[in-house]
Amino acid sequence: MSSATSSFPERIELSGEGLILRDWTEADLAAMPELFDHPDIAYWTPIVSPFDEAAALARLDRDRQLRADGTTILLAVTVDGGAPLGEVMLRRDFEGVVELGYAIGPTHRGQGLAARAVRVMAAYAFQQLGARQAILELEAENAASVAVATKAGFRLLDRPLITGEEKGRPFALQTWGLNRP
């Protein structure tokens, strides 16, 4: 069975680098708007805006469907398994490659949470999913995300820009990669 069609575990909890990455639950719904309803997240990510409790419920439902489909995992970033501080995403792109993404709530930034969460998720992809490469797709103008990629050990790859339009604005994404050690 190819990695693109095999399923993910029903429950996932990853720990490392002082973090616990865990499944989102209904108990997190009230906290999600505080994390994701922010101009930076609206601008740089495909997360819907405005992000309210209805959007949180829709995201939780979509998370569960994507996991059941075996394509994507969305995990809450925590330091102790409790209150969510942000999110890290893993999406299977094609054979042997996974795409990672992240969003950290504005009041929790500056603590290295995104870089640490990306490293933990990349380790999971390499060790448990057999991925050969993890990628990040970032806008060069997003200095914070470029800093996360660098801190997490990713290198800018020599690939064409990915261009498109999202939320009414054009974007051009660079691809950053980290190979399995």
Condensed to tens digits (0 to 9), the pLDDT of residues 33-61 reads 999 999 999 999 999 999 999 999 999 99
Condensed to tens digits (0 to 9), the pLDDT of residues 121-177 reads 999 999 999 999 999 999 999 999 999 999 999 999 999 999 999 999 999 999 999
The whole-number pLDDT of residue 93 equals 80
The percent of residues above 70 in pLDDT, for the chain, comes to 97
- Over residues 94-118, mean pLDDT: 95
CA distances from 123 to 12, 50, 151 (A): 14, 33, 15
d(CA 129, CA 111): 28
- Over residues 102-128, mean pLDDT: 97
Condensed to tens digits (0 to 9), the pLDDT of residues 59-73 reads 999 999 999 999 999
Secondary structure of residue 56 in the 3-state scheme = helix
Question: Which residues touch 30 (CB under 8 Å, ≥6 apart)?
Answer: 53, 56
d(CA 11, CA 130): 19
